[in-house]
Amino acid sequence: MKALHDQCSTYQQAPPGKYFSSEDGEFHQWFTPDWLTTTESPSETIHLAELRDYFVNAVRRRMMSDVPWGVLLSGGLDSSLVASIACRLHKQGSNSGAKAFVGARLHSFTIGLEGSPDLAAAEDVADFLGTVHHGYTYTMQEGLDAISEVIYHLETYDVTTVRASTPMFLMSRKIKAMGVKMVLSGEGADEILGGYLYFHHAPNGSEFFEETRDKVARLHKYDCLRANKSTSAWGVEVRVPFLDADFMNYAMGLEPECKMPAKAPRKIEKYILRKAFDTPEEPWLPQHILWRQKEQFSDGVGYGWIDSLRDVAEAEVTDAQMANAAHRFPYNTPATKEAYRYRAIFESHYPSHAAATTVPAEASIACSTARAMSWHESFSKRADPSGRAVAGVHDSEYSENFDIEDDMNKAKKKARTK
């Protein structure tokens, strides 16, 4: 979009899995796996050894490199598994010809605020795996100062994407400075396996499957956009083994019931992935990491990060601006002051209406699609991208009095009482 926004009056994202034909001026689907086109839920039975083998091979394929590389390690399940497999294969010499940075040990990278959950968990994983670990601590001010630059590089004003991309953008700058040019990362698992905490409230297998299918189909607008653009801004390539075609086709073809989390009996999100790598005789990860609850990246870098972003927006965006938000931004009108702030910054970089329409508009809780908003009665009042918004699931969830009634309505109410 950087090269188009001041040259073209209209433009749109090229859809994934399609090619454009100049003969008829249309996009045509070429990637057509059964799970993407079916109207029925898949029914394949899970075999844990097969799931494990598919994923090990997915990591192996992405280790081929003629440049120095490493692994992103948040300390969560997904990135930790990628790092564990890469370390084991690297020690076995399975990545012939690849350069795992300098020396025989793999290098891992993480970022967070002082005292964040991810920094501590990543240290545990790095110690267990024996990687050369680089943990970067950023300050709140460093993150806030980078927001405008992040929005420019990402070409989006989506709230959860901006929240999560900022620390990743700062970390990528450090990685580039060390001479690393490629990293492995853990994006895609939550979409394929239903790992987001709101999936605990999926009413049935059919709804669960349709939500995972739609989440995978929209990855280019959210997590893949974040991972790709926040790293490529600094000339770093990111590779995502969970989106390997063979692994994805196998996992998406499984009956959804085997992937669904449950409260009673207790069944944690992404249970089958955890169980597939729960091999005590040759452990892949420490038990407390293998069974660690899902933590979204923007939460894991430090709960104070999101809270500070909200506080800054509250101070910068006035009630009068929110009350008139629909006039300034008729498309995808921001409902919170934080969203308004990002939208205004985006507009300063990309002022056209065509640019604004490249960003999707839908209600969401903990990164859900609009479909999932009906899964629980509390979702409409807690519609925030943070995983802590999901009632009764997150260990550090928002208080029961948390109500994210949109700031626009609050501002309008204040205006009527004056």
Q: Helices 303-316 and 159-177 meet at what angle, rounded to 10? A: 120
- Based on the fold, state whether residues 296 and 307 are members of the same structural domain: no
- Based on the fold, state whether residues 271 and 307 are members of the same structural domain: no
User: pLDDT digit of tens for each residue in the chain (418 aa)?
Assistant: 899 888 888 888 889 999 999 999 999 999 999 999 888 999 999 999 999 999 999 999 999 998 999 999 999 999 999 999 999 999 888 654 455 544 568 999 999 999 888 899 999 999 999 999 999 999 999 999 999 999 999 999 999 999 999 999 999 999 999 999 999 999 999 999 999 999 999 999 999 999 999 999 999 999 999 999 999 999 999 999 999 999 999 999 999 999 999 865 678 999 999 999 999 999 999 999 999 987 655 555 657 899 999 999 999 999 999 999 999 999 999 999 999 999 999 999 999 999 999 999 888 877 888 899 889 888 877 656 654 556 556 555 444 554 555 555 665 566 555 5
Q: Which residues of 223-259 are buried (b: 16+ CB within 10 A; e: fewer)?
A: bbbbbbbbbebbebebbbbbbbeebbebbbebebeeb
Q: Given 262, 278, 300, which residue is the final one in a domain?
A: 300
* Domain-located, residue 170: yes
* Domain-located, residue 242: yes
Distance CA 331, CA 334 (A): 9
Q: Given 300, 321, 353, which residue is the final one in a domain?
A: 300
Structure tokens at 158: 């989506």
- Based on the fold, state whether residues 271 and 410 are members of the same structural domain: no
- Based on the fold, state whether residues 200 and 320 are members of the same structural domain: no
- Based on the fold, state whether residues 380 and 247 are members of the same structural domain: no
Query: What does the pLDDT read at residue 301?
Result: 62
- Specify the number of domains making up the chain: 2
Residues 6+ apart with CB under 8 A from 281: none
* Domain-located, residue 20: no
- Based on the fold, state whether residues 333 and 271 are members of the same structural domain: no
- Based on the fold, state whether residues 307 and 224 are members of the same structural domain: no
Domain containing 207 — which CATH number? 3.40.50.620
Can you give the residue range of the structural domain that contains 318? 303-417
CA geometry: angle 294, 299, 305, nearest 5 deg: 175
- Based on the fold, state whether residues 113 and 171 are members of the same structural domain: yes
- Based on the fold, state whether residues 91 and 49 are members of the same structural domain: yes
What pTM does this model have? 0.89
- Based on the fold, state whether residues 355 and 368 are members of the same structural domain: yes
- Based on the fold, state whether residues 137 and 252 are members of the same structural domain: yes
- Based on the fold, state whether residues 98 and 225 are members of the same structural domain: yes
Mean residue pLDDT of the chain comes to 89
CA geometry: angle 410, 415, 418, nearest 5 deg: 130
Q: Given 260, 279, 300, which residue is the final one in a domain?
A: 300
* Domain-located, residue 39: no
